Structure 1
């Protein structure tokens, strides 16, 4: 039993909810030890601005360098584990209709047992051909930090270079993922926004959409964000602490 106190009002709201969306961001993954976008800049990568490695232009300029950086990031993710917050979401989903929408490109929700409705910014574990878009099997990244470029694999369908399966700066979100996310948000009665500053658009528009369509929106974040003033409830705690406490609190009477 989790002893972290939960606002009784929040418990009542969560207990009554029949369609829940959990919307997660980088703060949730960071608690598992996943380096944030900029924190993954060590060794060779310290000389690069990450925004210069995560663009179509960077890929066109030096695909081997970009592939090496993402292989390093993929390996970092593979070596960490889901935390109690990830597991609590999966537990909650076993009791009620719950959809996970995430801005994170890792697979921690899935490894904790959740089905993810939408990876809005793609996934490190879904590489695809840069030419024809065909999916390519992931090899799980590399264990040691590359000291230079790594040649991307070739597409099994057309021979094109395989690229990371993430959304780069300047690219649109995957249309199918965005459609699934909007559908889940428009029909939910509770949205829990956890570990995100909600400043990256268009993903940041989803909590506002939920509020406009009548859902209760709860923010779990240790710090105030731009979203805080627009929503129903804010809880200044972290994902790994708050989510297990909330799920424990609502669990007995469902």
Structure 2
């Protein structure tokens, strides 16, 4: 895939391309997106797999958005004995990444391109349901973040390709069993919570973890098993759909 000219990897252009990108796009749509990033090239001779890969490479090399940070979290835990999930709904918020093993650990991402307008509300929602909570932030947000998130939240800073643990998460003592139960489906309530469990906060938390692990086990195992074939920017799509990558990236 030899290209000519210098690519235009401005954050604004990559963000626009990502906004219009879907792993389900056909070649003509992918070519339109690539024409914005590589204006001096003609992509009509490229197969669909190569087109996806070029978009992925542009994002991973020249973008500071959340897709890159989500994949970094995936790589960090994919070989560990745990289950994880992307974008779990928590009240009116959505935690970007969650791991479930002996504990529930949430990660909220705020890239250099994000603002912190919702962070206080998100932090309050996550503190009600998860045992450990973290924010993964671009270093530019550190001062503002310290004034917003609770003291038991971990803070991981990102500067370019470097990550640093600014503050380690502490076990959360503010879990609300009612908030945890509100996130369960009717079936999960029937399977994991009898009347005795409903009246015991410690048991609610224990069964909450069991239910989440069962909910996400199959989807997580799929993306781990197929990770070699999945492009980083598409990892959440495959987690949600469990479509065989060969149908998305035909050569």
Task: Give your verdict on TM over 0.5.
Answer: no
Higher relative contact order (CA 8 A, sep 6+): 1
Query: Which has more helix, going by share of residues?
Result: 2
Q: TM-score, normalised by structure 1?
A: 0.29
Q: TM-score, normalised by structure 2?
A: 0.30
